[in-house]
Amino acid sequence: MKNIIIFKYHGIYEWLIARISGAFIFFYFVYLLSFIFGIDKITYEIWYIFFSRNIIKCFNVLILFFVLIHSWIGINHVVTDYIKSLMLKQILQLILIAILFGYLLYGLIIMWNI
């Protein structure tokens, strides 16, 4: 009986996760804009120093995770709403998972090699 209750509210959790991740992405964007407009002249050295701090690296990885989760929820809903064939739907979902996982790995490599 617990499985039925959990699946009943699955859409509410996805909606909440999408809104929370969207809010974090928005605040990250505002933070970056405040950094960009708060400096007189942006050079490579300033940009490198900003992104080489460990707290910014962790924050970037967190935002990358939120972007990928947000993307998965949105794209998954589009696929499940408009693709009627179960086989094609599952193939597209596997492809999307592989692409998003590749983005995660590539993003982690980029973030931690600065």
Q: Residue 41: what are its φ and ψ, rounded to 5°?
A: -135, 125
Give the pLDDT band of residue 12 (cuts 50, 70, 90): confident
Sign of CA dihedral 90, 16, 10, 83: negative
User: How much is the pTM?
Assistant: 0.82
Convert the pLDDT of each residue in 20-38 to its tens digit: 999 999 999 999 999 999 9
Convert the pLDDT of each residue in 50-93 to its tens digit: 989 999 999 999 999 999 999 999 999 999 999 999 999 999 99
CB 58 within 8 A of CB 16: no
CA diameter of the chain: 61
Q: 21 burial class (0-12, 13-18, 19+ CB within 10 angstroms)? A: buried
Please tell me the class of the 2-112 domain.
mainly alpha
